[in-house]
Structure 1
Amino acid sequence: MNFDVTPHGAEAPKSQPARAASQTPARRTLLRSALTGAAMVGAGLTVGAATAHASTTTTLPRPATPQQALAELAAGNRRWRTLTQTHPHESAAVRHTLTTGQQPFALVLGCIDSRVPPELVFDQGLGDLMTVRSGGQVLDEAVLGSVAYGVLELNIPLVVVLGHQSCGAVRAAVEAEETGAELPAHIQYLADQIAPNIDHTKEGDARVDSTIDRNIRAIRSQLAAEPDFADKLHSGALAIVGARYELTTQLVHTLS
């Protein structure tokens, strides 16, 4: 499923919704001590094009809903794939605006792979995305706390779990299980977290490729099961989606 279409395959609307300005959130206490929560929302988001633009006001215009945020990412990935990227929000005015605070419109939990930098593959700029990256998108308390900060403290409406084609962390986990080889200690930790998602119905490269998708879905489900996110998910103020980046085509597509 292409980020240019709805996750059910309908064509994106041709109108371009403007980025709604979000209100500056009041200072609140930092992370809740218990981070747990909720049924996933977001599988049916409507994706349409949206135009990023800079503002000289005290806050940058931002998508206010999960649908608008996903549309903005879809438009940016389209620009990236077609080599028409605009590198938005890099001006002196934007940099000055961002000295007083940040209001990113999406949080991307991605892999550390150097070929998949979220700001580039979605053609976004300063202050647009909060990015959290770990090998194979593996969740631990530091990663989960970082995601929770974006959702609970900055009111980010969209979380994207972004895996990718030819993930080295996933391949290492699959090969370690198959051979029984012990990986270096800290890398073994990543493999151990990915191992429950290995697809044993397939062999060879097909097993690795299928495990990439299964891993994305599992991490998405873990985040969606965090109780602190429950109210936002149930009200539609937050969506958590799984997506995959194809190195061969530069396409980002959602996973059902």
Structure 2
Amino acid sequence: MSTVGAGPAQRSRRRNLGVYAAYAVFTVVFFGPVLFMLWSSLRRNVDITGSLFAVTSALTLENYTALFERFEFGRYIVNSFVVAGGSTLLGLLLGVPAAYVVVRRNLPGLGFLTLLARMAPGVLFVLPLFILSVRIDAPSNTALNYGLLIVAHLIITMPLCIWLLIPFFEEIPISIEESTLIDGANAWQRFTRIALPLALPGLSVALMLSFVFSWNYFLFALALATTETLPLTVIAFNFIGQGSNDFGGLMAASTLISAPALLLTVFAQRWLVRGITGGAVK
């Protein structure tokens, strides 16, 4: 009796060990580079280049202090928040009604056209945007340059908002909105008072992912930004050059660049998971 009972128990333990081993592998794969980046940002450049995995090397905050001494890092942080935040809010302002119209008017072709812009490589948009920037004299006008960068990042945020919100609006029964016709609700009232509150989980997902994607994107800023509007992502190029590589400074800059998006994801993961799974239920 005990031998027969030990078989399933032993198989269960083996399955659990396999699951834990898989968790350990995924943890190393996904969090290993992040921890290595953070650890390297606290080491001197000579220690990184001399012995990459020397765990006994002294830790220091010199790389972080040097960032703010060599660059106007505070301004670059503000620039990143202005561009990423502005493009996210504008993307939601335009993308949420667009997703609702695509669903309620049954216009999948229109939704696919917006997706094409997100699928196309960003290089295709750089030259037209650069010509536009020169024509409107954006390089000499800080406010205009901010606006151009925000509009350029709409290519990233707006299609993302539309395609994330389409499943949420599809889940809302049309009968709920039609019931408000008895009270004389017009199309705008049905959208703002019925559809929009029911799609709030999708809005949270669109908000977070749009901000993260816009924050991490650097191509448009590399081609269009001026010294007054440079975001953090472009600054990372200053640490790697011909004959001079500041790996410690690069890791410190990368840590500060990735921190806002990482913290946002960690603190909002409950709403993120709820929104993603909510949109997947049919």
TM-score by length of 2: 0.24
* Bigger radius of gyration among the two: 2
Structure scoring higher RCO (CA < 8 A, sep ≥ 6) equals 2
Higher helix share: 2
Higher strand share: 1
